[in-house]
A and B are shown apart, each in its own frame.
Chain A
Amino acid sequence: MNVELLKFVWIFLPQLLPRPIYELGVMAVAFLGVMVFMVLMVLFMVWFERKVIGHIQVRRGPLHTGRHGWAQSIADTIKLFLKEDIIPRGVDRPVYILAPLVVFVSTVVVYVVIPFSDKLVARDINMGILFVFAIGSVATIGIFMAGWGSNNKYSLLGAMRAAAQIVSYEVPLLLSVLGVLMLAQTLSLHGIVEAQKHVWYVFLQPLGFAIYVIAGIGEVNRLPFDIPEAESELVAGFHTEYSGLRFAFFFLSEYANMFVISAMATVLFLGGWHGPILPGFFWFVGKAFFFMFFMVWLRGTFPRLRVDQMMSFCWKVLLPLAFLNLLVTGLVMAVLN
């Protein structure tokens, strides 16, 4: 009976309900699903990062709260929710308040097009990859709003660094992806994964993958590129003045963004949900988490670059390499065709 009811809802409801209302309903369900996944993923990621870093750094702390420290992330979340909401007197209030939301929303929206498996995708649009990069770059505005609106010199410096960094690293990042798009002949994320059924693009585009990894880490401000918030230089950069839940939004976005970059790496280079035995979803999440592990590992190993070194590395090394990758891909494809 229940199955019948479900079938009815699945097949006939779209036809009975007015189109806009049905679409809104679908989006609401998708949004809810994305939010639940994201929050759980971030909670897990915080725990995961703490554990990995804890092992790298021979720390004892990450083992204390709960068995093997599992309760620590939950305790931290509750603490963040309970913290007093402080808004300094001199800030530009609307800009200051809106900034974390802009960053957060731009991150969440990207999740809508991520294909977690063959069927599990909130919206498979035919220009998925363009959507991801277009929406993802809106976060820069949010970060700059935070730095500007905070009325604090450290925040401003951090925000200027962040804007320069994200805008710069986006160029090689996009160029590194172009090779994949040329091979797959589609902009749809679903299509790109399908095209890797037999061979992952990491084997056909190793240089592109390397550039993607470096530029991607630069894009999410992780070590060795965590220059916008460099705590030994700028206190905490653009989010110096934020506390409690407002800070939590930045924090959540950072981890959510890490997952986006990892998920995109999975989609573009690591064959997405393809894999033997296990359901596609597990393969997808597993590959993405392996990539995130890599980022955590880097954090435990590397010092921070200097801002000018980071910029010259982007423009003088990554960018020419990305063009080279594009050129070689084009030439090889022309010859093979």
Chain B
Amino acid sequence: MAELETERLFINMGPQHPSTHGVLRLGLTIEGERVVEVLPDVGFLHRGIEKLAEKRTYVQFIPLTDRLDYLAGMSNNLAFVLAVESLLEVEIPRRASYIRVIVAELSRLASHLVWLGSFANDLGAATPLLYCFREREDILDAFEVLCGARMTFNYVRFGGVARDATPEFVGKCRALLGTFDKRVDEYEELLTNNIIFVNRTKGVGVLSREDAISYAASGPMLRGSAIKWDLRKDAPYLVYPEMDFVIPTGTVGDVWDRYTVRITEMRQAARIIRQALDGLPEGDSRAKLPRVLKPAKGEAYSRIEGPKGELGFYVISDGTTNPYRVKIRAPSFINLAAISAMTEGALIADIVAILGSIDIVLGEVDR
């Protein structure tokens, strides 16, 4: 039988997706429902954050890192601060290290919750979105108690953290952790056990082991492709070596694997926070540092396992109060590059699922 000839159509997968509200355009060439080519077009945010770093003092730059991945501001604070601290060669108090682990893992939860909700929404299920935001609200409430802000925290500082963790904050954390696992069970009931969801995700958007490595993918994207690589275990920082947790991996690298990896990570993050709260030592939350920071000439690269993958800050100091150069390794940008490899032969509906499974934040993509 002869193949039916169809006309190719070019459409923009544009602003309809929650994370692409005018800042990411996917140019799709389609034949009927089948996608022939996907071209991501980024660069609409025009932020120039790396350049702004050169015009500010080290401390003044911390609030700008919040604006990169605004769903996990604490993690961005942390990655930048760690880089500068290695230039300053400062040792931070143990209590500060624990608090940093708590806020970083809470950030992971908050970020994964937004991802899960919007991902489910992409697949047409609106209910998990509302549920996820309900839990995220508790996390933001805890952050508000801790540092007064709900999104742009400016909390992790050189030598420690801006303010000590109060008993109220600890209480809020324990309260939210008390129900968290049950809530994740609820999501799993809605999604993991749903045949439609399984059919929409299994075998869709496969990123092979080799491709994941060659695209330098990281975070749940890399672990979904069956590569056990997590900086908290493989290049430890803070007090992560003292924590007991497991690194989940997928098997084939499809959307389903990335989903299950993140779901397990949420449970593991909650486990880490519990351990950190239990073992939170007494003492100072910030080391004594000079009021004006002038790191010695040199360069440092510091990386953390952010919610979306390896988040790195490369800082060059020329011995003045301002960084000479800051380069950010943003996981969203690098993970997004692999979209073409994952979308071969996909349908339009798959593109939405695949894009959602990458978990991008455009603030980080367009720096």
Contact = CB atoms under 8 A, between A and B. Distances in A.
Interface of A: 56-59, 153-154, 157, 161, 223-224, 226-227, 230-235, 300-309
Contacts, number: 82
B200 A303 contact: yes
A305 B197 CA distance: 8
A230 B349 contact: yes
Interface size class of B (residues with CB under 8 A): 20 to 34
Given A56-B127, A58-B134, A231-B16, A303 B349 contact: no
A157 B28 CA distance: 13
Given A153-B9, A233-B349, 6 more contacts: A161-B33, A230-B349, A235-B16, A301-B194, A303-B191, A309-B199
B64 interface: no
Interface stretch (B115-123, B267-275, B317-325): B115-123
A293 to B, nearest CB: 16
Given A226-B124, A232-B16, A308-B347, A57 B352 contact: no
Given A153-B11, A157-B348, A302-B194, A230 B131 contact: no
Nearest to A160: B32
Contacts of A59: 130
Q: Which of B17, B120, B348 has the most CB of A within 10 A?
A: B348
Contact of A57 (B124, B126, B191): B126
Contact of B11 (A154, A232, A307, A309): A154
Interface in B1-57: 9, 11, 13, 16-17, 33
A306 B11 contact: no
7 contacts: A59-B130, A153-B11, A157-B348, A224-B196, A232-B17, A303-B197, A304-B125
B131 A305 contact: no
A154 B349 CA distance: 13
B131 A303 contact: no
A303 B352 contact: no
Interface in B293-317: none
A57 B196 contact: no
A29 B136 CA distance: 55
Nearest to B16: A235
B352 A233 contact: yes
What are the 5 tightest A-B residue pairs by CB atom distance, in nearest-first order?
A: A304-B124, A303-B125, A303-B123, A57-B130, A306-B349
B243 interface: no
B190 interface: yes
Given A233-B352, A303-B191, A303-B200, A224 B124 contact: yes
Contacts of A56: 127
A309 B126 CA distance: 20
B66 interface: no
A302 B130 contact: no
Contact of A301 (B190, B348, B352): B190
A308 B200 CA distance: 11
Nearest to A224: B196
Nearest to A231: B16
Nearest to B349: A306
Contacts of A307: 33, 347-349
A304 B130 CA distance: 17
B254 interface: no
A226 B196 CA distance: 13
A331 to B, nearest CB: 31
A69 to B, nearest CB: 16
B125 A57 contact: no
